[in-house]
């Protein structure tokens, strides 16, 4: 089987580290034959086990794949090439190991922390209030997360794996934080100020996803997003929303001059008003009721229009006033209005 040649396998990327509970997706790539008729078989084993060559965990003609494995034990991998014309298999490639031990429970396995230079025993290496795993934001763009020395120079370019956050830089956190997407089926992120108010997690057919439904019998019923930590870097609020009656969304903030500000986001002819504590941002004059709308508001830009000398130091809270049904989904804080 001369034409297959030597197979060199690399553990390239890790995806969904921060979101996973007991499983993780790992991406592997290898150098094989230039012959497009050669296919590849990926095998896995745990410590103390032998490879079952009758049952590959992946097969195909590509020289790269992503597979799901358990976090319970270290996992070893090898690849074999298969010449289906001559019905011949190669021997094993080199063996690679993925060890999911996470000593500080920050969402990054020790193996990755050693590569990128974060502290294995400190969940927040740069002490900016955001755990190392959250700053790498794996669930957004795992294809960007190269964690191997692919070019063989002995170093890993941090910019190759950075997707928004930097756990080694206290001034650079994630580019987006999801505050509520309702996909967990829960409502515990929301608290109402009135016993006749209602918070539900429901399925919405139009969005084909779960959403949060807030019902207020009166306009002044208030629904607060709880357990929200002050965010000192992301000043764009984005979400999808649908309303049956009057509503407004309030974002509370503190400025660098230590002044409190309330951004009131509501329907009305698009403009920004406000000279004192309250900054009113109007989202549009003719917004259809009981239909989904998207909102992206740069709060710093809005503040600068009416109070040019003030700069936001941190976003401290979010709450909604709504009468009748109000639905919200994909509530985020972002660095920019661009997707």
Please report, to the nearest 10 degrees, the dihedral formed by the alpha carbons of residues 6, 7, 8, 14 taken in order. 180
Write the pLDDT tens digit of every residue in 18-67: 344 456 778 888 887 778 889 999 999 998 999 999 999 999 999 888 88
Write the pLDDT tens digit of every residue in 155-175: 334 433 444 567 777 766 677
CA distances (Å), origin 184, targets 2, 211, 292: 52, 10, 21
Task: Write the DSSP symbol of residue 95.
Answer: -
- Give me the pLDDT at residue 280, please: 97
Cβ contacts of 116 within 8 Å, gap of 6 or more: 108, 147, 156, 158, 161, 167, 168
Task: Please say if the pLDDT value at position 89 is more than 80.
Answer: yes
Handedness of CA 132, 136, 142, 145 (dihedral sign): negative
- Give me the pLDDT at residue 74, please: 84
User: What 3-state DSSP class applies to 1?
Assistant: coil
Taking the CA atoms of the chain, what radius of gyration do you get in angstroms? 25
Q: What number of other Cβ atoms are within 10 A of residue 337's Cβ?
A: 12
Closest CA to 249 of 279, 218, 269: 279
Least confident of 43-57, 114-128, 208-222: 114-128
Residue 140: both structure tokens together: 């957004």
Please report, to the nearest 10 degrees, the dihedral formed by the alpha carbons of residues 137, 143, 148, 151 taken in order. -130
What is the C-alpha separation between 257 and 215, in angstroms, rounded? 37
Q: Please report the domains of the chain, with CATH numbers, ordered by start residue.
A: 8-98 (2.60.40.10), 177-334 (2.60.120.260)
């Amino acid at each position: 089987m001369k034409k297959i040649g030597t197979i060199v396998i690399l553990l390239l990327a890790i995806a969904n580290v921060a979101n996973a509970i007991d499983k993780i997706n790992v991406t592997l790539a290898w150098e094989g034959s230039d012959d497009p008729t050669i296919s590849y078989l990926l095998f896995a084993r745990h410590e103390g086990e032998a490879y079952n060559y009758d049952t590959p965990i992946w097969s195909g003609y590509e020289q790269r794949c992503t597979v799901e494995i358990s976090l319970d034990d270290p996992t070893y991998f090898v690849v074999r090439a298969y010449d289906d014309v001559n019905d011949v298999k190669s021997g094993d490639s080199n063996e690679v190991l993925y060890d999911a031990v996470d000593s500080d429970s920050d969402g990054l396995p020790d193996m990755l922390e050693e590569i990128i230079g974060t502290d294995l025993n400190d969940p927040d290496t740069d002490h900016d209030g955001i755990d190392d795993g959250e700053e790498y934001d794996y669930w957004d763009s795992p294809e960007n997360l190269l964690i191997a020395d692919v070019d063989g120079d002995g170093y890993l370019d941090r910019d190759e794996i950075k997707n928004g956050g930097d756990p080694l830089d206290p001034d650079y956190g994630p580019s987006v934080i999801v505050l509520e997407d309702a996909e967990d089926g829960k409502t515990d992120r929301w608290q109402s100020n009135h016993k006749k108010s209602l918070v539900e997690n429901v399925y919405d057919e139009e969005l084909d996803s779960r959403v949060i439904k807030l019902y207020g019998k009166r306009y002044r019923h208030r629904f607060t997003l709880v357990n929200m930590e002050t965010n000192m870097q992301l000043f764009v609020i984005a979400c999808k929303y649908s309303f049956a009656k009057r509503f407004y969304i309030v974002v509370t903030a503190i400025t660098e001059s230590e002044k409190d500000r309330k951004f009131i986001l509501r329907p009305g002819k698009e403009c920004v008003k406000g000279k004192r504590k309250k900054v009113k941002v109007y989202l549009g004059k003719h917004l259809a009721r009981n239909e989904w709308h998207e909102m992206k508001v740069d709060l710093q830009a809005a503040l600068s229009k009416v109070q040019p000398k003030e700069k936001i130091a941190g976003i401290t809270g979010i709450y909604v006033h709504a009468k009748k049904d109000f639905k919200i989904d994909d509530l985020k804080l972002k660095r920019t209005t661009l997707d």
